[in-house]
Structure 1
Amino acid sequence: MLRVIFITVISALSTNLVFGQLFETQPRRCFNPNQRLGACVSIYDCQILLSVLRRVSAQRLDTEFLRASECKDGYGKAPYVCCTGDTGFTRNTYDDDDGYSRQPSTVLFPGGRQRQSQRISEVAAGGRDFNSIGGSGKQHKGPSAGTQTSAAAVLPRLPSCGGVTISNKIYGGSDADLYEFPWMVLLEYNRRSGGLSTNCAGSLINNRYVLTAAHCVKGAIEKQIGQLVGVRLGEYDTTKQTDCNGYSCAPKAIRVGIEEIIPHNQYRDNAANKENDIALIRLDQDIRFSDSIRPICLPSAVAQERSAPASDTLYTVAGWGRTLHSPKSAVKQKLQVPLVDLSQCQRKYRERKVKVVSNQLCAGG
């Protein structure tokens, strides 16, 4: 079966988007029974609702809330729930952690508290039989809070990270939706010839840090372009002050200064294979999230470590760089490319005297 996966990587030896990146699939947004904004994910990746499910003395309203939290087309292993900070019905205001709000709607959740989820009901019923979920016959153990590392603790967790999932269509260098890839940022440089220039992109990973490529912050780019001085967030079309899609308009992009630049200490700009081509940028202020500015969900924040990708995996490249058939684009673009077998990639680059190592990934045509 063909799998479509978005994985964050910072540098590829060959790509058609000069400041694009590859991304991991992000969960769909949803509203829970209390109308709080959340993410549609596997119940195994939503620890707060999983704890309700495993509670031996769960009350009737708890299980009703669990059933009403079911959502469709989620991320990960079925069944799916709309994951927020809620564990039961509330009568409070409907603001979520990021300031989003929505009034109760009988349209989104017809039937209200009586809405039934057969798959979750089977699990919530007596005995708490977790083995039956998904029909695997094996118990799936999600990550527990006790095993969280200090590094992972600084990363936002569902539902505070990720963006709107639009579709799984295959695009050939087409425009991204206005609110797709809200973690993408443009890096701004003071050109040696004067003025500002955007020549690289990065990914917002929490409210203070951006992940990018080391070659975007040190080495040849400093001589050819200039000094990195800022980050632009919430950008879509670089030629417009306000970006709209016919239904709504996004807030204006914002510019933020840089407090610190941290390239990988083993990155060498003159290395042909660009190994360790990764860097962090610490912003000079905390960022408030919105529909057009949200951090990406990194793997440690959404799921357990995964095995090597399957050979039929597709990756999505996104950015403002050159596509296959056109020059640099002013509008955020996206393009799907296939995984290339590592041994095949190594043979190809060996002909160019470039050594591709095992911790690198090749994708493209």
Structure 2
Amino acid sequence: MKVLVSVITVAAVASVVTSQAQRCTARNGNPGRCVEVQQCPRLHDLLIRRPPGAIDILRGAICSFTQQRALVCCEDAPAVVSPGPSVNRLRGRQLLPRQCGHTALVDRIIGEPAPLLSWPWMILLRGQNAEGRRRFFCGGVLLSERYVLTAAHCVHKGALLSLESVRVGEHTVGRDPDCQKNVCAPSPQDIAVEQVIVHEAYGSPCLSCNDIALLRLATPARIDNLYVTPVCLPLEPLRDLGFSARDLKTKRAWVAGWGATEALASRTGTGTFSNVLQHGNLPISDRFCKQDLRDYPDPDMVLCAGGEDHDACNGDSGGPMVISNSNRTRRYVIGVVSRGPTVCGAPESSGIYTSVIYYMDWILSNLRA
């Protein structure tokens, strides 16, 4: 391992640029170029950050050696020309699991610790700050065995914590196994992140605009359809949910997380976490966020929810807002925690969630096999 790192590090320092790079095939089967690691941003980033599993990924990417330097197979960038929304949606749909959104969650309108089996799609993000300290800092939601949906402000290049890995199948941090009523879950999975896809227009024209991102996992999450299972995406709201997107503002939705407020997390990179997953059920309404909605060029980009005593700082930044379909057989993610009130549960205040329905074309067009 040390030899591999030292060889690749030498390559990273080298300044030789090969104009006619040898063609190669990346680990995922896509075509690429055999180049020095510093010429491949994604692999070079793995070398610098060294998240769990990074060395195995780098070792598997080596395609040749030259002058005692290791060359890596850098996957070709996708074509700039988009095939169009309809083609993107079809391609993305084919990559989503058929089994999704099944949970033992019971509809109770309170804020409380979540039952063990109730949020099998919840994700914890783990990162490192400038001092080298590692901690969990944001939430996310599992869309498939390879993709996690989260907030852009958690994972963009200027974030205070550098993303290293995600944790799948967690409930009570620091306890393994998690058990309730003689039922015990498998150990959580810590998986390296292969690619971070931040919305290309994040932060424009307003600071919180387009606050959405996808994470592609380096290895597939192990799905068991009980403790770990993907949430559903509302591809066609009227068909999937049983009501239109406009009707969402008459509904209630669930949010969940481990208790850090975005206000603390965004300012200092720290926050007070609950070790146990918390959840709450909130009304979706613009009643207390009309002033905030003026920041967005299109108010449909986000959803507002809250205004009750058990308001959502139970939901971490990047975590999901989910809703049941009309017959309560599946759960669909309809929002991603973006902004929240400074004081959790403050009366006449709302949290703001990036609308998943609004960004469905973007999500589907960024999924790949």
The residue aligned with 1:359 is: 301
Matched, 1:178 2:112: no
Question: In the alignment, which of 213, 216, 219 is matched to residue 285 of structure 1?
Answer: 219
Matched, 1:309 2:247: yes
* Distance in 2 of aligned mates of 1:229 and 1:154: 24
Distance 1:349 1:155, change over 3 A: closer
Q: What's the % identity of the aligned pairs?
A: 35
Distance 1:333 1:258, change over 3 A: same
- What is the number of equivalent residue pairs in this alignment? 208
Whether the aligned pair in 2 keeps the contact of 1:163 and 1:181 (CA below 8 Å) is no
The residue aligned with 2:181 is: 246
Question: In the alignment, which of 178, 196, 199 is matched to residue 261 of structure 1?
Answer: 196
Whether the aligned pair in 2 keeps the contact of 1:155 and 1:301 (CA below 8 Å) is no
Whether the aligned pair in 1 keeps the contact of 2:209 and 2:296 (CA below 8 Å) is no
SS at 2:190 equivalent:
strand
SS at 1:216 equivalent:
helix
The residue aligned with 2:135 is: 197
Distance 1:322 1:258, change over 3 A: closer
For residues 1-365 of structure 1, the aligned pairs below 5 Å read 149-157=90-98, 160-172=99-111, 174-221=112-159, 224=160, 226-268=161-203, 271-272=206-207, 274-290=208-224, 291-300=226-235, 303-304=239-240, 306-322=244-260, 327-341=272-286, 345-347=289-291, 350=294, 357-365=299-307
Q: In the alignment, residue 183 of structure 1 is paired with which amino acid? A: W
Distance 1:284 1:161, change over 3 A: same
Q: In the alignment, residue 346 of structure 1 is paired with which amino acid? A: K
Q: Deviation per CA, 1:242-285, whole angstroms, max 9, x where unpaired?
A: 1100221101111111111110111128933x111111111111
* Distance in 2 of aligned mates of 1:217 and 1:246: 36
After the TM superposition, list the runs of 4 or more consecutive aligned residues in structure 1 that deviate by more than 4 angstroms. 353-356
Q: Which of 1 and 2 has higher RCO (CA within 8 Å, sep 6+)?
A: 1
C-alpha deviation, 1:180, in angstroms: 1.2
Q: Deviation per CA, 1:222-255, whole angstroms, max 9, x where unpaired?
A: xx3x310101111001121211002211011111
Q: In the alignment, residue 276 of structure 2 is paired with which amino acid? A: V
* Distance in 2 of aligned mates of 1:162 and 1:358: 24
SS at 1:200 equivalent:
strand
Contiguous gaps of at least 5 residues in structure 1:
1-147
The residue aligned with 2:15 is: none
SS at 1:361 equivalent:
strand
C-alpha deviation, 1:356, in angstroms: 6.7
* Distance in 2 of aligned mates of 1:176 and 1:212: 20
* Distance in 2 of aligned mates of 1:362 and 1:279: 19
Give the structure with the larger strand fraction: 2
Contiguous gaps of at least 5 residues in structure 2:
1-88, 262-270, 308-369
Whether the aligned pair in 1 keeps the contact of 2:142 and 2:230 (CA below 8 Å) is yes
Q: In the alignment, residue 103 of structure 2 is paired with which amino acid? A: V
* Distance in 1 of aligned mates of 2:292 and 2:129: 35
* Distance in 2 of aligned mates of 1:327 and 1:270: 31
Whether the aligned pair in 2 keeps the contact of 1:220 and 1:269 (CA below 8 Å) is no
Whether the aligned pair in 1 keeps the contact of 2:192 and 2:217 (CA below 8 Å) is yes
Q: Deviation per CA, 1:273-318, whole angstroms, max 9, x where unpaired?
A: x111111111111222122111111112894473312543111110
C-alpha deviation, 1:152, in angstroms: 1.0
